[in-house]
Structures are given as structure tokens and as C-alpha cells.
Chain A
């Protein structure tokens, strides 16, 4: 087995958050004694990622995803545990390490606002010491892949959100890093844009064998790109494995859609009604009872058409987080 690219062991990040209640008495008290609350943003997580893997990092806001990415890229110092990426300790911020990674955060701009993206690309070329001919070929390749030929000559401030994200990603990859940390790269973009960026990342991964760690709110991102997902909540890892397995493990329900003979048929005894559209009803039925329920539906209700599906992954995740929070 090859050495993992990313090796995380018992990694923790705790924050001391000053606590202050409202009111004059509390403020005066705060002058003399500061009370703190310990927030365990990341709580002793462990995982390892092999070269070339594209891993999705799922979790609601505040779960610890961004904190973990920041520790992996050296921006935050861990409170405990070990982390090694490409054999380096990220917090040392070795220049040779930084040349091999990239961190892209979805609504943050790193390109110069007033100048065309091409000028910012030049700066990156100088910054990373990329040889000129190699740089030009890569740059032109990426521009073509993302179809931004005419956009790179316009000042970045004149681009739309999606266009800006495309040129930001190009800028982030010009030095062909082997490890990509992508934090919500498609946030706020329309569906077409999201798909283009996903395709680009997949293509980059294919061409350069890069390892990708991606966080996202959008299941579509994860489903399209990641074979493996790590689910994190309250700083702890809830699941680490194949995406398909996630549904298997966490979903306690199946979705059954059935077309009945008429719109008024009573289906209350079979399961929770999710949707009703004329004769077509969608029910939520506990997994264990699915076969029995479908058999009954077919025999007792004279159903024309019946489909059994897994619930969408979003729902599963939502359930997972809802139960964990409770």
C-alpha cells in the first residue's frame, strides 16, 4: 500500500470562546473574571487519504470541515493530535510544502480585483517559479477547459460570481499542486456553472493524479466527484467510507412511489405520505417493513405501478444531523 498523502491521527482543535451574558452586572463581572467556554471544533478525528483519491467532506455549518481544512493547509495550529500531508507538518508552512498544495475557498477572491485574470496568473507564475513555456501551456489548457477565453482579459470586478470562481480555480491550479483542498467551491453558483467546475476538477484529478479533499453543502458535488465521503458533525467523524454505504448505514427508510387506481384511495395504513399528486402517491416506509408493505400495496390496492428507491442522500444526511443534534 502506498504511503497515504494525508495522514490524520487524533487531530483536535479547541477554541476558548469568551462567554459574556448581557446586562450591566455581567459586564462588570467580566472586567474582573473572564469566563470561557471550550468549543471543540474538531475532536480527535483520524483518517488517511491515498494518492489520487477524491474525498468528500460532509457536514452542516460549524461541523468542523473548514477548521480541518485550515489545519491541513497550515493556517491553523492543531490543539492536539498529529497531521501530516505529503510527509510535511502543515503548521510549519514549509515553502516546498506550500508549492504542492492549494486551498480554494468558495466566496473568497485572491485575484487582483482591478486587473484582468491574466495579470494575476502572471503573478502566480513568478510566485511559484513556474517555467514560462510550461506555464503558458497549462494556462491555455485550463482556459480552454473552462471556456473562459474572453473572460480572462476583463477586469475581475466585471465578472459574474460564477465566472470569477472559474478564473479563481485556474489561478489556484497553475502550479499543478498534488493536493487540492476545496472548501465549498461551488457555493452560490448556478447549476450549469457548478457542473462545469465539477467536470474541471474531475479532469484535473484524472490528468495529474491529484488528491482532492472537497467540502460542500451540495450533494450533487459529492455525488459527482467523490467515491468516498467523510461525514463530520460536532467535530467528530460519523462515517468514513463509500458514498453508497452511507445511505445503507444511516437510512432507516425507503421511498416507495405507487400509482393507484384513483386519487381518493386511502393509504394511511401503509406508511408516511410524502407526496400526493392525483393518483400517484409517495410513501416513506421503514426499511424493515418495505417488502411486506410493497406486497400489501400490490395486492390490496390494485396498484398500477410501483417503485422502491433509496431516499435522496440529502435527506439521509439531514436525518443523521438531526438525530445527532437531538
Chain B
């Protein structure tokens, strides 16, 4: 499938060129986003110090590492918002994509992937500055770096599929705020975005094990900073692959029904 590879590379290149034009906006956005993890970091470091230096296996330095890497993973998690589907359909963009001899999801995947390349580049200096301020525990091996690299792209894929599923609900109804808000709330708590999952009560962790959320957020971070044993490190990639498979199948099935509905009315 040379044509697909060619398409992805060309599309990513275009996305990079486009996003570079918006580099200032990109930077401001990334800086604004830093507030959230910094707040979590300070709160939990305070708790850790009050509890004698560590809580849930995390020292303040470990929390710093967690939340700094958090900023990259958070950025990798940003994909086409399900709220955007209504406009995407109404402006005729979906129709335009349907005329092309390629599944529209490849457009999303390739475009945002290119954007992520820019994001990763911009993140490096930001991470350096944050490290100077918060002094994280920097203790990772090269193996972990490699796994981390694959894990963040795995997270990107899973989240793209999940949010595409959400967005496709728009084919049936535009009254979607409630569903989306609830989804994001659960995701916040069960993914490792709010706190490292090991700080959650055990019953919450058990529920989270059945859901894809922690594989989009907590696992990639932990693969780099939490010194996971090899079984968990590589097993995590396996779980990501599993969830990529599951969500892809779900998207494919829902797409068939969604497109049928769309083609009855069209735009």
C-alpha cells in the first residue's frame, strides 16, 4: 500500500507547514495548558511532603517527572474534537472527503499526526524550562524512551478512534453535549490525567483496567517515568495494540451505519 504511505507522508508534511504558520498560537496554547498539571503537581507535592516525603509511591520529584511528561502526552491526546463534527458535516467537508478514494479517517489521522510532530518539537524547550523550575526525578533508560515513543503514538491512535466514535453520534443527533461532557469527566478521572492511577482507590483502578482511558494517558507517562518492570512495560504496548484493534473495529462498524444515515439526507 505504497499509495497510503505516500499519502500519509505528504499529508503530514502539509500539516507541518500549515501549523508552522500558526506557531505563535500553538506556543501560547501549550503554555496556557501548563497551568493544569502545575496545579496538580503543587497540590500533590504538598501532600507528599506532609506524609513524610512520598505518597502512593511518588515523591515530589517523581510527581514533577510525571506531570512534566504529562504535558507532552496531553498534547498527543488532542485530536479532532467530537464537537467539531456538526460543523464538519454541515460545511460540506465530509462530502468533500467522501468523494476521495480514501477513507476520511485517514485525513484526520495524517493531518493531526503531522501537527503532533510540530508539537513534539515545541515541547522540548518547554519541558526543559519546567524541569529547571520543578526539578523532576530524571531516571529513565533508553529502552523506556523507545517504548515511550511508541506509547505516545499508540495513545494518539486510541484517542482518535474514541473521539471519532463520539463524533459519529452526530449522524443521529446533534444533542450531544451531555454525552460528551460525561465522557470527558470519566476520562479525566480514569485515565491518569488527574492523578497517577496508583493514587486512586483500588476499586477505581480495577474499573479502569477494563477501560481504554489509562492506555491513552497514564500508561505512556508511566512507561517513561515510573520504572515499570519489563512485563508491564511491554505488556502495556500490547494492551494499546489491543485497544487500537477494538476501537478500530467499532469505528468501522459505526461508520457503515453512520454513512448510510448520512447518505439518506446528505449535505
Residues of A within 8 A of B (CB): 15, 70, 73-77, 91, 93, 95-96, 98-99, 101-103, 105, 108, 110, 112, 114-115, 119-120, 122-123, 125-129
Contacts and interface: CB of A to CB of B under 8 A. Distances in A.
Nearest to A125: B10
Contact of A99 (B7, B96, B101): B101
B85 to A, nearest CB: 17
B49 interface: no
Contact of B101 (A76, A95, A110, A115): A95
Contacts of A126: 3, 6-7, 9-11
B14 A119 contact: yes
Q: Which 4 A-B pairs have the closest CB atoms?
A: A95-B101, A126-B10, A98-B101, A129-B3
Contacts of A105: 92
Contacts of A129: 3, 6
B51 interface: no
B185 to A, nearest CB: 29
A127 B101 contact: yes
A240 B229 CA distance: 75
Contact of A77 (B6, B99, B100, B264): B264
A15 B102 contact: no
B266 A98 contact: no
B202 interface: no
Contact of A76 (B3, B18, B263): B263
B83 to A, nearest CB: 20
Given A75-B266, A98-B100, 14 more contacts: A70-B266, A74-B99, A75-B95, A96-B101, A98-B99, A98-B101, A112-B18, A114-B21, A115-B18, A123-B10, A123-B11, A126-B11, A127-B102, A129-B3
A106 B7 CA distance: 26
Contact of B14 (A70, A99, A110, A112): A112
A312 B156 CA distance: 60
Contacts of A73: 99
Contact of A95 (B14, B96, B102): B102
B88 to A, nearest CB: 13
B11 A93 contact: no
A276 B3 CA distance: 65
Contacts of B18: 112, 114-115
Nearest to A15: B265
Interface residues of B, number: 23
B17 interface: yes
A144 to B, nearest CB: 24
A119 B17 contact: yes
B260 interface: yes
Contact of A75 (B9, B14, B17, B99): B99
A194 B264 CA distance: 33
Contacts of A110: 96
B14 A123 contact: yes
Interface string B85-108: 000000010011011111000000
A59 to B, nearest CB: 18
A125 B14 CA distance: 13
A126 B13 CA distance: 12
Nearest to B5: A126
Interface centre among B100, B102, B264 (most CB of A within 10 A): B100
Given A114-B21, A115-B14, A77 B263 contact: yes
A128 B6 contact: no
Nearest to B92: A108
B263 A127 contact: no
